[in-house]
Structure 1
Amino acid sequence: MTVSKGLKGTLTFCLSFSPVSLKRTLVFSFSLFLFHSIVAQDLQFYILEAERNNPNIQAFELRYDIAKEKIREVNALPNTSLSAGYFVSEPETRTGAQRARFSISQMLPWFGTITARSSYASSMAETEFVEKAIAKRKLALSVAQSYYQLYAIQAKQEILDENIQLLQTYERLALTSVEVGKASAVDVLKLQMRQNELQQEKVILKENYTAEQASFNSLLNRKETIAVEVVPEMTIPLEDPMYATESLTLNPELLKYDRLYESVEQSELLNQKESAPNIGFGLDYVPVSERPDMTFNDNGKDIIMPMVSLSIPIFNNRFTSVSKQNELRQKEIEFQRTERLNLLEAALAKATSEQNQARIKFNTQEKNLEQARDAEEILIKNYEAGTIDFNDVLDIQELQLKFQMNQIESVRAYYLQSAIINYLINQ
């Protein structure tokens, strides 16, 4: 088996089976498994750092904490009422003159109302938790997209370095051919101009890398100039991982609507409880002065009066309206969930298709690279035989560079679509 190097880290094979070649194939397959494990660990490290530091995620954390604190808030009873009054003109009673009045009262909601409020607040907290999960998924997807873009730029820079070195080798061959009269100075100039073009592309890629690195670091909420460690080699795995498309229904974007629906149910239960009467308990205390001109058992006896009150919502149109609103809100949420499910299914189908397209393009470019390498070998043999067309050399080199760049783009596209699929169906 002969092996030629195309995309850095990607081996292209000309199959001629032998015991040795079979052993090499097994070793290569095992190294791919280890490699993708390393890529996942490296990327996961950055994603976890982003989740810890990203201000948007921190804001969602606070929103969730606020929602949890609301549970404690709704468990409180209404304010206790205290009142005091002094009689400017003391009213006389049989037992004496009343000097003042002190009152205390406490209203209590109907049985189960506080529990219903707590359940409603808990359901709203669950909704905020799902919102936080969605934000984390979107952040992880953004980090992965930027990471793969950084890899693609870095890999292209390395490919350009290799091609510049190759052109320099051809330039030396051309200079030697000029000396013996087998090539012209124009061939040398063409090779030099081609090197200039590649140097220009390399500088542009460096600028792109700097900008993308700044974007990546902003996701992690750190200084934009911090270097990002990107794996040196990536390739498309031999087989795609198995995806459980049924997990799409567990996507947080859909769970959000389930939680919203539940919160509306809890809101309706709370509305029913609040439409019931409220009961109150209280106590009045009136100090009474003794009558100095009389003597009897209850002379100057203070007045203590327990009280019970009932608040009845006779005009309950508000509660009826809230019930109707909750019913309509539930229907709205059902339609929104169906629409979101349709969009997610379409996104999954598109991502799967584009992932397959990336594999097809990668394999096609691999075949093209093999043929370009064969053409290159023919040109070198012609040089050894004393004849070489440097225009053909430039054409082949340009084709090789095109195929290599396309392979890198295929790898980036494959992993980008993998990240989207992971966003959609990973539990």
Structure 2
Amino acid sequence: MTLKYHHIFRVKALVLCSFLFILKGNAQQLDLLIKEAFISSPEIEKFQLRYDIASEKVNEANWLPNTKVSAGYFVSEPETRVGAQRARFSVKQMLPWFGTITARENYASSMADADYVEVTIAKRKLALSVSKLYYQLYEIKAKQLVLDENIELLQTYEKLALTSVEVGKASAVDVLRLQIRQNELQQEKEVLTQQSRGIQAALNSLLNRDYQRDITVIETLEMPMEDIQFSFDALSLNPELLKYDKLYESVAQSETLNKREGQPMFGLGLDYIPVSERTDMNMIDNGKDILMPMVSISIPIFNNRYKSVSKQNELRQQEIQSEKNERLNVLESNLARAISERNQARIKFNTQQKNLEQAKDAEEILIKNYETGTIDFNDVLDIQELQLKFQVNRIEAVQQYYLQQSIINYLIR
């Protein structure tokens, strides 16, 4: 048993020395899963296509009203001094006010920018979802390793109990209790395996691949020595808030476009009328065709539409600002909660670490008592259950710490 504990302490020292490497390995594994999710996720593709459509609308904005072309034939030809008019051909093009097309393009571009922020938000939410499932898988795997260690420890105690039974220092009941406890731990391990399959299926679904595919997660996560410090001001860079800035800007561009569209429109046209020559006399310009350039203007005199749109845009900007303030309050609340729960996780970890060390000391005392022939296997089971409880609580605290840190990263990075 002394050699066993020496081996355990040696392993712990190696784990501590390789702490930075472990964190780097965890970041690499999780980062690869997140990158794969970005590439394969149908949801990200949906938002990306929505952004591509919005970007294409910038090209759509560069348009002019349809060119009007008309032709008519005089059934009864009107007579003029230089001959009879046979037909009329007209072409007309209306032109928007100066800067209207540019304003239209700017508005479409601002809407595309808002959709691009949606892509960013979707990616951050997907990364957070992948991280949550990844840390849940870590928790299950870490618990299974702890259960294996405890089962192995109980098997060692079972051998000690069998030896004690042979020399009359223990009863067969003690052996049966140890075996029953092993069965319970094996059951917990198998239940965790089923939970792991469900979480793996959910994670594979986010990665858009076969739900039965195995996912490799890190075996050990250490509690960081120090917490990352940050300011609540960093929330201002959260895409969920930047989205409202982009929407506010799009409304401003919409108002600029509205003002341009509320200005007069100019029209340029040309009429062509072919004229027949007069046969009853010969005169200057006899049969000369008529070519008439035209200029027109369209003035929105009796249209209150543009005033109403301006008022709507003003109200819409106020609404967006209110929505942003409301969302900021929610994000601040979420950040404060995440910080609190992360700090709680560290407190729980430190407490469980102390409890586990004391339980180890109690175990060593029991082993020394065995060497003197006074071991109580009921105490052995009690200490083993306490150790397992502390180990599991410590794993849950580490998992909760990293989970809350992921939420914090989502909010401020």
Shared fold (TM-score greater than 0.5)? yes
Shift of 1:92: 2.5
> 1:201-220 alignment to 2 at 5 Å?
201-220=188-207
Shift of 1:29: 6.0
Match of 1:382 in 2: 369
Letter aligned with residue 364 of structure 1: T
**Per-residue displacement from partner, 1:108-140 (whole Å, max 9, x unpaired)?**
110111111111111111111111111111011
Q: Distance in 2 between matches of 1:168 and 1:292?
A: 127
Q: Are 2:142 and 1:150 aligned? A: no
Q: Are 2:98 and 1:122 aligned? A: no
Match of 1:79 in 2: 66
Specify whether residues 120 and 90 from structure 1 end up closer, same or farther in structure 2 by C-alpha distance, changes over 3 A only. same
TM superposition score normalised by structure 1? 0.92
Q: How many residues align?
A: 409
Q: Which moved more, 1:85-94 or 1:57-66?
A: 85-94
Whether contact under 8 Å (1:4, 1:370) holds in the other structure is no
> 1:45-194 alignment to 2 at 5 Å?
45-194=32-181
Specify whether residues 222 and 41 from structure 1 end up closer, same or farther in structure 2 by C-alpha distance, changes over 3 A only. same
Whether contact under 8 Å (2:270, 2:291) holds in the other structure is yes
Q: Which moved more, 1:293-302 or 1:45-54?
A: 293-302
SS in 2 for 1:134: helix
Q: Distance in 2 between matches of 1:162 and 1:124?
A: 58
> 1:227-242 alignment to 2 at 5 Å?
227-242=214-229
Q: Are 2:408 and 1:411 aligned? A: no
Shift of 1:386: 1.2
Match of 2:244 in 1: 257
Whether contact under 8 Å (2:339, 2:404) holds in the other structure is yes
Q: Are 2:288 and 1:301 aligned? A: yes
Q: Are 2:307 and 1:290 aligned? A: no
Q: Distance in 2 between matches of 1:233 and 1:66?
A: 45
Structure 1: which 4+ aligned runs deviate by more than 3 Å? 2-6, 27-30
SS in 1 for 2:215: coil
Whether contact under 8 Å (1:98, 1:287) holds in the other structure is yes
TM superposition score normalised by structure 2? 0.95
Whether contact under 8 Å (1:64, 1:129) holds in the other structure is yes
Match of 1:20 in 2: none
Match of 1:358 in 2: 345
Specify whether residues 4 and 241 from structure 1 end up closer, same or farther in structure 2 by C-alpha distance, changes over 3 A only. farther
**Per-residue displacement from partner, 1:118-175 (whole Å, max 9, x unpaired)?**
1111111111111111111101100100100010011111111111111111111111
SS in 2 for 1:89: coil
Shift of 1:91: 2.5
Whether contact under 8 Å (2:254, 2:313) holds in the other structure is yes
Specify whether residues 3 and 119 from structure 1 end up closer, same or farther in structure 2 by C-alpha distance, changes over 3 A only. farther
Whether contact under 8 Å (2:204, 2:213) holds in the other structure is yes
Shift of 1:245: 3.0
Q: Distance in 2 between matches of 1:160 and 1:408?
A: 12
Match of 2:255 in 1: 268
Q: Are 2:30 and 1:43 aligned? A: yes
Q: Distance in 2 between matches of 1:240 and 1:3?
A: 31
Specify whether residues 192 and 277 from structure 1 end up closer, same or farther in structure 2 by C-alpha distance, changes over 3 A only. same
Q: Distance in 1 between matches of 2:24 and 2:365?
A: 39
Instruction: Give unpaired runs (5+ residues) of structure 1.
Output: 12-23
Q: Distance in 1 between matches of 2:400 and 2:385?
A: 22
Letter aligned with residue 395 of structure 1: D
SS in 1 for 2:270: strand
Q: Distance in 2 between matches of 1:144 and 1:361?
A: 22
Matched-pair identity in %: 66
Match of 1:199 in 2: 186
